[in-house]
Structure 1
């Protein structure tokens, strides 16, 4: 006999069904996503969901209906973070949604490079700048993990700035300041005083098509595409960084795995010293650093 639409369903069975649906849609980690969606519906953690499934807990009809809707949207490849409204980044959990680039795990190494340079700065109150802050991931990581630093973030997309502003307010880092301003003209009052200039700029070549539907259809184009070779904004960043940084200051730029050599060339030609490219945790080249002359 079939279950009544108003009866409870085993949570474990709901998880397996959701994961099967997501797997058929080509989602990379279907069980993880299913667990996170159930956790979101129930207002709990993924670990609690796993424990509840082992115990044989039931999923109430309203929760089951909410899960079905979210699974259908995820199967259509809407980003998981848009459905939950949250994206983890290092020790932070940031608010995200349509209009802002969803922070990726690979960007955590970019933040680490910036944090390490900021901690090594000689000043007792070093200054860092995040250009094109998006969700605020890099800026807020620097501000919270290096509390003696002063961090300034610039964002010039109205849609993204809504999310940046919300995350700055929610995290509440007193040493972080946000400005709605083009990165090319950002923070002239800081010229020659900055220890770390960090950025995750748009770096996808205009003609390239991102493989993942979540990126191709849902990330804002302004956060993805960077001109014919993807490096138009990097060229701007190099000049802005030279203006902002003090001698010995560091620039940290995220990029695609194939772009390190060309970015080192751009930075070196502009006068930066010791340009070096660093891999992420998957051993793909992910960021290039250099020192202000």
Structure 2
């Protein structure tokens, strides 16, 4: 399919397993241009982007932005769960774009706020309406875990990068202490991401098996399916444990950032848990802050159910760069 030269931007969302690439016109993703690539089939991002450009009729984009599931520093990204390194030079070389940018995936999600269809935002905890420039907080729960604040300043939107998933797990009781010890034994350090991720749900399930003296493993998708049909009490218990720790961590991050504009959960695991958060104790754990329990009602919590928000955010960031 032929496209006009220097009209569209190229945007990509690079996860640990797949990369999704699309064309954008201003902040809008061009219909029919989203393609998914399996990372294991390619030696690096340049190969993926060159394949995409060829598939789209040798399109010549005017700008390119990629969102990366890993830390970004000095315009260079290293993926946490994939042996790829990405920099501006290789991005410009692969796309021939005049303007290029690299974002952490949560930064891209933050840049999407305000440009997501309201029908794709599910409210979990209502809260008072914040001022238009109130801080917001993105919390990503998927293959990994991360969080990033969103600040709308006079000079424009700022979304600082973060690696919140590699902070220590919180401990509130004896059971959670044993969970930390279980994770530490298997992985060397009890990080938030070791429980609050797809693999983390599997670890919570395995931990409860050890607690019961009847260990067995289950895949995250099977645990969630068993929660939906009630076929496995341990799956329900693992999801409840996961939910309460998620509530605690989101509450901690909210006290650090004061997101009076709301907390937004994103990612495949967050979307899968959205129907269960109410019944599994998210609100109680989120607000369990002693004398600050009442204060926690200032923060609304939502789940973003748009799987392509990082692409929209990347396009929005490019619009701001070029304005």
TM exceeding 0.5: no
Q: TM-score, normalised by structure 1?
A: 0.34
What TM-score do you get using the length of structure 2 for normalisation? 0.32
Structure showing greater radius of gyration is 1
